[in-house]
Amino acid sequence: MRTTENGTRRPKIVAGYFVDVQAGERLADHETWDAHGTPLIGMDDDGFWWGTERAAWVLHEYPFVVVVHGTLGCRPWDGYFVGTEEAAIEYAETHGVTVGEVESGDPEYEARQLRRY
């Protein structure tokens, strides 16, 4: 764990691979498509994406999928992660994404967000 400027502790990114979120299996490092034939990383007329609904990028061991919606430049961007909300936001921001909305499978996420305000 590392400490941020405000003293909170976040898990260090220790993984860095895609996992099939339904099967729970790590995708091979050379894999470029998810189980539905969608590219793992890409861009089209609707924007950019990192991961898919079926294949999420593992930041660290954590039982929830987090989806980050934002923009990269002026284009929409979606990222699918396994990890905490904070780690997913940090990952996106360090890759130039302006984060807009975060969806989490963690039932405590919304409660934590409400406590912040």
Question: Which tens digit of pLDDT belongs to each residue from 55-70?
Answer: 999 998 888 899 999 9
* Contacting residues for 102 by C-beta, under 8 A, at least 6 apart: 66, 67, 68, 69, 85, 88, 89, 109
Q: What is the DSSP string of 77-91?
A: EEEEEES-HHHHHHH
Average pLDDT of the chain, as a whole number: 85
| Helix or strand run (H / E) with residue 112 | helix 109-116
54: amino acid identity, one letter: R
Question: Which tens digit of pLDDT belongs to each residue from 72-111?
Answer: 999 999 999 999 999 999 999 999 999 999 999 877 766 6
pTM across the whole model: 0.81
Q: Which pLDDT does position 67 carry in this prediction?
A: 97
| Helix or strand run (H / E) with residue 12 | none
Q: Which pLDDT does position 112 carry in this prediction?
A: 65
Question: Which tens digit of pLDDT belongs to each residue from 13-52?
Answer: 567 899 999 998 999 999 999 999 999 999 999 999 999 9
Q: Is pLDDT at 7 greater than 80 in this prediction?
A: no
Closest by CA position to 68, among listed 43, 46, 101, 96: 101
Q: Is pLDDT at 117 greater than 60 in this prediction?
A: no
